[in-house]
Amino acid sequence: MENVSITKPNAEAKDIDELFSGKVFKVPDYQRLYSWEKENWEDFWNDIKEGLETKTIHYWGTITLRATNEIKYCGETETYFNVYEVVDGQQRLTTIYLFILALSNAGKEALKKKYIKCGDVYRLELGGPNKEFLKDLVDGNNPEPDIRSNKQLQECLEYFKNQIKEFVKMGGNIDELSKYLQKITFSLEFVVQDEMLAIKAFESLNDRGKPLTLLDKTKSYLMFISARYLNNTLNNRIQEIFGRIFLNYDIIKEIGEKEEIDYIKSGRFKEDELLRFFYHYFSYYAIEKYRLYDLPNKSIAYNYDITVEGVFDSFLKDSCNSLKNNNEVLEEFALDFLENFDKFISSFKRLIKKVSFDCKYRKLFSFLGLNTRVYPLIISLETEGILDAELLNLIEVLDLRVYKIRGTDPRASLYKDVITKIKENPNPERIKKGIREFIKQFMPDPEFQHYLSGSLYKNPGTKYILWEYEKSLEPETDECNVELFRKCQVEHVLPQKPTFAFPGYGFESEEEYVSYINKLGNLCLLEETLNKKCQNKVPEQKREYYEQSQIPRTKNLAYKIGLSGFKKDDIEQTTKDIIEFCLKRWPIL
C-alpha cells in the first residue's frame, strides 16, 4: 500500500466555555435555515432544568466543524478569533447561542461579551436570510420576521426569555443556571481540516444521531462524487444549488401554510418529496441521453411507482456508479442533475407564489386542493414555460374528475406517456392530447355523470363543485373569496337522520330517503357557525339560518323553502341541474 498523508480528525468533549473559546462559528449559506420549533426548545429547556436539579452532566451531542484560515479581530478586547464552518449541529448550536442571549438579557450581561458578540464580531454567523436577522436580534433591533425561519429564531429567543423569567420568579438561581450551562453541559467537538472529510463526517455522524433526509444524502453523495472522481470541480455548484433548494423548500412550505394549501401545509409534504417530483421530470430524459438503459453494469429504467428511497439508490447512485469510469460523462450527468433540479424547484416556488395573487392558481391549490399525483405534471409544465390557461383548465378537469370524484389512484399512463416526456418533448398539443386520453380512459362523460348521480357528501371534490355552481348561478359572486370558502361547510338540506314520519317530503320509506340524502341536490354550502345551529332540523326550521348566509344560493334556498318547501323532487331536479353544470364546467374537450 502506498504511503498516504493523513490528517486525523480531532474529536474532544468540551463544555460550552471551551467550545466557544477563541472561535467564531459560521454556518455556510448552503446549509439549511434554522428550523427548530417549540417542542425542540422545550426539550432543550427541560434537559437543562433536569440536569441542574439532579446536579448531573448533560451531553448536547456532536458539533462538527471545519477549520478555515479566516481570522476575525475584536479591537475592544484585542482578541483574535479563528473562524470555523459548522458542518453539522447548527440547529443545536444556534439554540445554545439564543439561550445564552436570553440569559444575558435576563441580567447576566457579561455572557454577551463572552459568547455572543465582541465589539463588531458576532460569535455565530448564520447563513442566507438568517444572517442579518440574527444580528438584529443580538443588537436588540426588534426585527420583523419576513420568513418562517426568522420567525422561529425570534420565537425561540422569546420562549427562553419567558422560561428564564418564570424560573427566577419561582425561586430559581440564575447564577447557578448560568454556571451549569457553561461548565456542566458538554458537546463532542469534531474538527476536520478538509472538505472531503467534512462530507464523510456529515454522513456518518448524522446517521448515528438524527437520520439525514434523503435530500441531505443527495447533496452529500454528489459532494462525494465531486471530490472522489471529479477533482472537486462541482463543489461550489453543489453548495450553491442545494442552499437555494433548501431555502426554496422553506418558502414553499411557508406560502402553503399561509394560503392553506392542504397538502403543502401537512406533514406529508417533506423536503424529500422534492426528489420524487423531480425524478418524474428528469429521469426519462437522463436515461435516454446517457443511455442508462444500455449499461454493462446495471440497466436503469423509469419506474412510475418509485419511492423516494428508490430515486436516491436506484436512480442517482446507480447512474453515477455506472458512469464513474468516464469522468467527463459523469460530470456532465451530475451537472445536468443539479441544474435541472435547481430549475425545477425554483419553478415549483414560482408556481406556489402565484397562489398569493392569481385567482386561478389559488382556486386550483387552495380551493380544489390538487392531488399530489398531479404535482409532478404541473411543476414540469411550469419548468418548461408552457403552462398556459388551457393546460391549467385541463389539469383542473383531470384532478376533479379522476382524483376527486372517481377517487382512485391511476397514474401509469399519465406518468409514462405524458409527464416523463415533457422535458424531452415539451409540445403543448401532445401534452394536452395525452391528458385528455387519460381522462377519457378513467372518467369519460357517462362515468362522470354516473358518479355525480351517487353519494357525494364526503367526496373531496364536492365543496369545490358547489362553490363553482354558485358562480354559474350568480356571476357577480367573488369566486376567489378564500375567507368565505374556508368558513363554509357542506350542509344537508334535508337532515342526515330523518326526524319526521314516513311517508314524508316525497319519500315513501326511510330506505328510499337514505338513498337520496347524500346526493348533490340535497347539498349546499353554509358557514360553519350557521351549520352548527341547523343540526338535524328539517328545512322549514333551517330557513332562518339559511337567510343569514353569505352564499347566494343558500339564501335563495331559504326563500324557496318558505314558498314551496323542499322535498324529493327538488333533490332530483337540483342533482340533474348540477350534473349538467359539471359536464359543461369540466369538459374533456
For the record, the C-alpha cell of 287 comes out as 436515461
Which of 152, 112, 118, 119 lies closest to 134 in space, CA to CA? 152
Angle between helices 327-353 and 214-229 (to 10 degrees): 150
- Report the distance separating Cα 36 and Cα 413, nearest Å: 41
Q: What angle do CA 194, 195, 197 make, to 5 degrees?
A: 75
Q: What angle do CA 59, 63, 66 make, to 5 degrees?
A: 160
Q: Is residue 287 part of a domain?
A: yes
Q: What is the DSSP string of 349-387?
A: HHHHHGGGT-HHHHIIIIII---GGGHHHHHHHHHTT--
- Report the distance separating Cα 570 and Cα 379, nearest Å: 42
Q: What pLDDT is stored for residue 32 in this prediction?
A: 78
Per-run averaged pLDDT (10 residues), the chain, 589 residues: 49 90 89 87 94 90 89 92 91 95 91 93 92 94 89 96 94 93 90 65 46 85 91 90 90 92 92 96 96 82 95 95 93 97 98 96 96 97 97 97 94 95 96 97 97 96 97 90 95 94 94 96 97 93 95 95 95 97 95
Q: Which DSSP state fits 504?
A: B
Count the Cβ atoms, other than its own, within 10 Å of residue 332. Answer: 14
The strand pair at 58-74 and 79-88 is best described as antiparallel
Q: Is residue 182 part of a domain?
A: yes
**Pair 419, 467 in one domain:** no
Q: Is residue 204 part of a domain?
A: no
3 state SS for 308-332: HHHHHHHHHHHHHHHHCCCHHHHHH
For the record, the C-alpha cell of 580 comes out as 349538467
Domain edge (last residue) among 164, 193, 222: 193
Q: What angle do CA 303, 306, 312 make, to 5 degrees?
A: 110
- Report the distance separating Cα 497 and Cα 513, nearest Å: 9
**Pair 254, 136 in one domain:** no
**Pair 123, 218 in one domain:** no
Q: What pLDDT is stored for residue 589 in this prediction?
A: 80
Whole-structure pTM over 0.85, yes or no?
A: no
Q: What pLDDT is stored for residue 208 in this prediction?
A: 35
**Pair 224, 175 in one domain:** no
Q: Are 52 and 182 in contact (CB under 8 A)?
A: no
Torsion from C-alpha of 226, 228, 229, 235, nearest 10 degrees: 10
Which of 239, 263, 121, 109 lies closest to 175 in space, CA to CA? 109
Q: Is residue 1 part of a domain?
A: no
- Report the distance separating Cα 273 and Cα 279, nearest Å: 10
Q: Is residue 457 part of a domain?
A: yes
- Report the distance separating Cα 565 and Cα 324, nearest Å: 76
Q: What pLDDT is stored for residue 202 in this prediction?
A: 54
Q: What pLDDT is stored for residue 49 in this prediction?
A: 93
Q: What pLDDT is stored for residue 83 in this prediction?
A: 96
* Owning domain of residue 491: 453-585
Q: What pLDDT is stored for residue 227 in this prediction?
A: 86
Q: Is residue 209 part of a domain?
A: no
Distances in Å between the Cα of 54 and the Cα atoms of 47, 49, 271 are: 11, 9, 39
Q: What pLDDT is stored for residue 6 in this prediction?
A: 46
For the record, the C-alpha cell of 332 comes out as 456532465
Q: Is residue 200 part of a domain?
A: no
Q: What pLDDT is stored for residue 128 in this prediction?
A: 82
Torsion from C-alpha of 46, 49, 54, 60, nearest 10 degrees: 60
The residue length of the chain stands at 589
Q: Is residue 50 part of a domain?
A: yes
Q: What pLDDT is stored for residue 8 in this prediction?
A: 55
In the chain, the number of structural domains is: 3
Q: Are 119 and 75 in contact (CB under 8 A)?
A: yes
Q: Which residue has the cell 467537538?
A: 189
Helix (H, G, I), strand (E, B) or coil at 576: helix
**Pair 401, 472 in one domain:** no
Domain edge (last residue) among 413, 443, 473: 443
Q: Are 397 and 589 in contact (CB under 8 A)?
A: no
**Pair 184, 220 in one domain:** no
Q: Are 104 and 85 in contact (CB under 8 A)?
A: no
Which of 320, 301, 317 lies closest to 416 in space, CA to CA? 301
Q: What pLDDT is stored for residue 10 in this prediction?
A: 63
Q: What pLDDT is stored for residue 205 in this prediction?
A: 47
**Pair 261, 383 in one domain:** yes
**Pair 105, 178 in one domain:** yes
**Pair 364, 474 in one domain:** no
Show Cβ contacts of residue 531 under 8 Å, excluding neighbours closer than 6 positions.
489, 491, 545
Q: What pLDDT is stored for residue 30 in this prediction?
A: 72
- Report the distance separating Cα 19 and Cα 500, nearest Å: 76
**Pair 188, 123 in one domain:** yes
Q: What pLDDT is stored for residue 206 in this prediction?
A: 47
pLDDT in tens, 186-245: 998 988 876 555 655 555 444 333 467 899 889 989 988 998 899 989 988 998 899 899
Count the Cβ atoms, other than its own, within 10 Å of residue 112. Answer: 17
Domain edge (last residue) among 443, 477, 510: 443
Distance in angstroms between the alpha carbons of the first and the last residue of the chain: 70
Q: What pLDDT is stored for residue 529 in this prediction?
A: 96
**Pair 242, 292 in one domain:** yes
**Pair 99, 238 in one domain:** no
Q: Are 88 and 188 in contact (CB under 8 A)?
A: no
